[in-house]
Amino acid sequence: MSHIFSSRSSDLNAASGRERSGDLQHGDKSGLRRSGEAVLPVDFDRMAILLDIDGTLLDIAPTPHEVHVSEELRRMLARLARRLDGALGLISGRSLADIDRIFEPLRLAAVGGHGAEIRPGPGADAYRMQLSPLDPALKLRFAEIALLDPGIILEDKDYSLAIHYRLAPQLGGAVIKSVAAICEKYSCDGLSILPGKSVIEIKPRGFDKGSGLKELMSFPPFAGRRPVFVGDDITDEAAFAMLPRFSGVGVSVGGIVPGASFNFDGPKDVRLWLYRLSDGPDGETG
């Protein structure tokens, strides 16, 4: 059976299957708003939940290594994965090694590096897609942008490069102009330049979160299910665009993202929604 989620706490109670007096402490709003006519499935035998990490499941931290995952959040995700018979996955620009570091000891199915790495399930072997690596000389040119200021952080993911300027937001324009200047001088035709939240991602074309989602959906227990993907920025648009192939539903976080039929205000609301789906304790938001 499926339900349409709205901002009414009664809908949340119906989805969980019983009344929760704790809902009242959160007011009448769940933080989940419908922006289209799509139906959000809540059939644990037929749905899959796929989550971006930074800015979606977790609050964005000053640096990539400072994100926090509480023990209660780990337990909730493990509980939700069991309810979904394992059809809970993470789709991130982070590498699989980095995903495992921040969620340790929890292991979930995951897509890392914007689709470069795939792990179909917690106990499955991870593998990389056949990719063309970034040209070392071009990577060096982009890496030099970090010399502009100590607040600009370079994250080398091997198959891609991320230039973070959250610690120096006033230099965002300079970072973007520097990337554009390099692409004007050197050929960037084979690259995707992805602006995110205070970050520029640079990677070869041919893979993205959409191709990663498609790959993951070919494996059990995801195969044959309807994916609900939750993401927050431009780097997630490829995943949203892939959802119609699987009759999936997109949920954005913060602003409305093309392809999303529902919207959360922020990561705290995403966590609250997941706790309720997992039948977790009310009020726990990780």
Structural domain includes residue 283? no
Number of domains in the chain: 2
Indicate whether 68 and 162 sit together in one domain: no
| pLDDT digits 0-9 by tens, 256-286 | 888 889 999 999 999 999 999 998 444 444 4
Indicate whether 125 and 241 sit together in one domain: yes
Under DSSP, the state recorded for 27 is: -
- Share the mean pLDDT of the chain: 83
Token representation of residue 38? 């799509």
User: Beta strand pairing status for 199-204 and 153-156?
Assistant: unpaired
Q: Which residues of 41-62 are buried (b: 16+ CB within 10 A; e: fewer)?
A: bbebeebbbbbbbbbbbbebee
| Domain harbouring 81, CATH code | 3.40.50.1000
Structural domain includes residue 284? no
* Structural contact between residues 7 and 28, judged by C-beta atoms closer than 8 angstroms: yes
Under DSSP, the state recorded for 20 is: -
CA-based nearest residue to 61, from 194, 162, 164, 133: 164
Structural domain includes residue 18? yes
| pLDDT digits 0-9 by tens, 150-185 | 999 998 887 788 899 999 999 999 999 999 999 988
Indicate whether 89 and 214 sit together in one domain: yes
Indicate whether 123 and 252 sit together in one domain: yes
What confidence tier does 16 reach under pLDDT thresholds 50, 70, 90?
A: very low
Token representation of residue 107? 């292991």
Please spell the DSSP secondary structure of 101-158, one letter per residue. HHHTT---EEEEGGGTEEE-STTSPPEE---PPPPHHHHHHHHGGGGG-TT-EEEE-S
Q: For the chain, list the strands marked E by DSSP.
A: 32-34, 47-51, 88-91, 109-112, 117-119, 127-128, 153-156, 161-164, 191-196, 199-204, 226-231, 249-253, 262-264
| pTM recorded for the entire structure | 0.81
| pLDDT digits 0-9 by tens, 80-99 | 999 999 999 999 999 999 99
Indicate whether 81 and 101 sit together in one domain: yes
Indicate whether 124 and 41 sit together in one domain: yes
How far apart, in whole angstroms, are the C-alpha atoms of residue 229 and residue 90?
Answer: 9
How far apart, in whole angstroms, are the C-alpha atoms of residue 198 and residue 193?
Answer: 13
Mean pLDDT over 183-195 rounds to 86
| pLDDT digits 0-9 by tens, 204-239 | 888 899 999 999 999 999 999 999 999 998 889 999
| Domain harbouring 162, CATH code | 3.90.1070
Name residue 207's amino acid. Answer: F
Structural domain includes residue 90? yes
Indicate whether 123 and 175 sit together in one domain: no
* Structural contact between residues 52 and 230, judged by C-beta atoms closer than 8 angstroms: yes
Indicate whether 83 and 142 sit together in one domain: no
Catalytic residues: 52
Indicate whether 199 and 222 sit together in one domain: no
Indicate whether 83 and 195 sit together in one domain: no
Element (H, E) at 241: helix 237-242
Q: Residue 199 sits in which domain range?
A: 136-204
Structural domain includes residue 285? no
